[in-house]
Amino acid sequence: MIKKILIANRGEIAVRIIRACREMGIQTVAVCSQADKTALHAQLADETICIGPAPSSESYLNVSRIISATLCSGADAIHPGFGFLSEDSRFAKICEKCNITFIGPTAEMMAQAGNKAEAKRTMQEAEVPTIPGSAEAVTSVVKGKKLALKAGYPVMIKASLGGGGKGMRVARNEENFEQAFVTAQKEAKNAFGDASMYIEHYIEHPKHIEVQILADKFGHVVHLGERDCSIQRNHQKLIEETPCESLSPELRKAICKAAVKAAKAVNYENAGTVEFLLEPNGNFYFMEMNTRIQVEHPITEWVTGIDLIKEQIKIASGQPLSFGQNDVVIRGHSIECRINAEDPDKKFRPCPGTIADMYLPGGPGVRVDSAIYSGLVIPPYYDSMLAKLIVHASTREEAVRKMQMALGEVIITGIKTNVDYQYELVNHPDFINGKTDIDFIEKLKKSES
């Protein structure tokens, strides 16, 4: 069993991992930048090592410093959390070479599943439904135009590597293809260091459905149900829930079966998420595979009773899954809202600063994953997410009301947040009635202008 874990991350996910390790009797090592010396994760871990200046490139993305901190601390494993180096196959490979257990898939699995073009080819071979589009990555506008005509406009232009909505543009016709391609490619190059793109038919008004999977080293793969992640702004998820009310039992079975098939196609190991686009007519298509723990994992934990972080650690330690597919039972409904330090009135501009005072809700069926406290300085260098507010109830109707109540109780002063904006979303009639898709936010913008 792993005895000591270095957490190569910050914020609420680092705190979440530390708590899971404590419950398992595992020692923890936190890394922090100079800007994060007073951060909660740096205070809660058994050991803390400052690895560099505030910019991510000099700290949380600095592989050599993270590996050095791991070796110096005597940690035998690294948990990457999400973001930063969590989907960097090169980092996973270096861990393997240094005899450090990487809590996630192997570098080979990550490279195969994380590269969108390669993953799409693999899924087609495994007969998992895929969106019509390019079978391989492209770097030239001329070739891209030919593929766009073949896939059929409108098309989505996406970076082959990376995620988080970066390097993505929609071209609705041949006239605006070149500008969209060049813009997305430049963004991808700056964000991920890779200018290869792929092109696929753009599906109008779909739902974004993802399936949580767990796979051990012995070929056992199970799914833990689906999550509806359709409410997004600029391809960034805002609200997630499980189960998806739009799925019939037959469709749920089919999409979850496809996710397991996808994981087996790449011989996947550890926790991962298979993402699909669901058309209004019920057709669904593989979109991508995330080779890490997801931000929204708490809602799955709540409806299944399975601790995903602990399962990740057990799998990385070489243990087989202690349960089978028939043991996974979905109970009730869970919703998560992401609380960000941003100003909705100023185009959601990030709002770093000092938290003057705060109150976070509690009570039955309410969970808050965060790393914030009164007096904490929110630095301007990292993702703006402050906390995740999660609720659980017997039915979706009850869960919606509980989220409305919980958001209404949140108090964070000293900085701007999106709490009021989230409150408006969960009180919107379309959300209450479950009539949302990935265009929900855009429709709201148009109706307000």
Q: Active-site residues: which are they?
A: 292
Reduced to 3 states, what is the DSSP secondary structure of residue 80? Answer: coil
**HSE of 62 in the Cβ direction (CA atoms, 13 Å)?**
19
Estimate the crossing angle of helix 141-151 against helix 177-192, to 10 degrees.
120
- The pair of structure tokens assigned to 430 is 């379309």
Euclidean distance between the first and the last CA atom of the chain, given in angstroms as a whole number: 57
Phi and psi of 155, rounded to 5°? -125, 155
Q: Helix, strand, coil % (nearest 5) of the chain?
A: 35, 25, 35
In angstroms, the Cα distances linking 310 to 102, 201, 230 are 14, 38, 27
Residue 385 burial (CB < 10 Å; 0-12/13-18/19+)? buried
Got the DSSP string for 238-254?
Answer: EEEEES-TT--HHHHHH
Residues pairing with 227 in the sheet = 210
How would you label 313-330 residue by residue, b for 16+ Cβ within 10 Å and e otherwise?
bbbbbeeebeeeeeebeb
What does the alpha-carbon distance between residue 294 and residue 149 come to, in Å, rounded to a whole number? 34
Reduced to 3 states, what is the DSSP secondary structure of residue 379? Answer: coil
Largest CA distance in the chain: 60
